[in-house]
Amino acid sequence: MEGYVKLHRKMWDNPYLRRPNYLAVWVYLLTHASHKEVDVMFKGKREKLLPGQLLTSSRIIHRQTSCPHPTVRRVLAIFAESEAMIELRTDRQKTLVTIKNWAQYQGRSEPRIEPRVSHERATSEPQNKNVKNVKEIIVPKGFSEREGKMVEILWDWNMRQAFPIHHEEYHPERVITKYGIELVEALYKTCVEKDNGFYLFNTQIKDYAKADTR
């Protein structure tokens, strides 16, 4: 086995990956995933293994990582279901694992955040050719400009983390609508000052909201 994979620092924002067995399984999946298309036999048929996929089994992972077999099965289930980090397809002997967002986080370069331009603004406002590097902000329907700016900040922040948003309840638009711009701005400032990540921001905001209503 040759080559290397990228490990993003912000993966430590995921509390599961602070547990040795969970981390061992995750690193196993990353380092054993295919980096090119390969033909394999799965469910009695020839199938093309794509980059970010691997054909393995819980017993193989158990032997390679020394994690208890029941633990490996539980970790895979959590990664697939509650964390939405992988997809699983199984037959009687093997499991085909697909690591989500493989190309985005294991590509040749870091993910690039392209500024999103409001079509309405771009076509209605006069363009000043002497002004450079001005980033337009898309304001979601029904949002104020202040709220739209915070949405843009949160999406940009999320994209720099180890794991992108998989659950709709964590989408910045929904978070602001549910908890209010004041609470979101305050917690964002606190998280940045403490060098917390986007994952902790979403887990903490519910607690802040509960405390705020007492």
**Which is it for strands 45-49 and 38-42: parallel, antiparallel or unpaired?**
antiparallel
Residue 55 dihedral angles phi and psi, to the nearest 5°: -105, 115
The pair of three-digit structure tokens given for residue 90, joined into one six-digit string? 């199984």
Residue with the two structure tokens 């739209």: 148
pLDDT in tens, 58-83: 999 999 999 999 999 999 999 999 88
pLDDT in tens, 195-206: 666 667 766 777
The model's pTM is 0.52
Query: Whole-number mean pLDDT of the chain?
Result: 78
pLDDT of the residue at 45 = 87
Comparison of pLDDT for 2 and 62, the residue scoring more: 62
pLDDT in tens, 149-180: 888 888 777 665 544 555 666 678 888 888 88
Per-residue confidence at 91, pLDDT binned at 50, 70, 90? confident
Domains of the chain and any CATH numbers: 9-106 (1.10.10.10), 119-212 (no CATH)
Long-range contacts of 84-89 (CB under 8 A, 24+ apart): 84/166, 84/167, 85/26, 85/163, 85/166, 86/29, 89/42
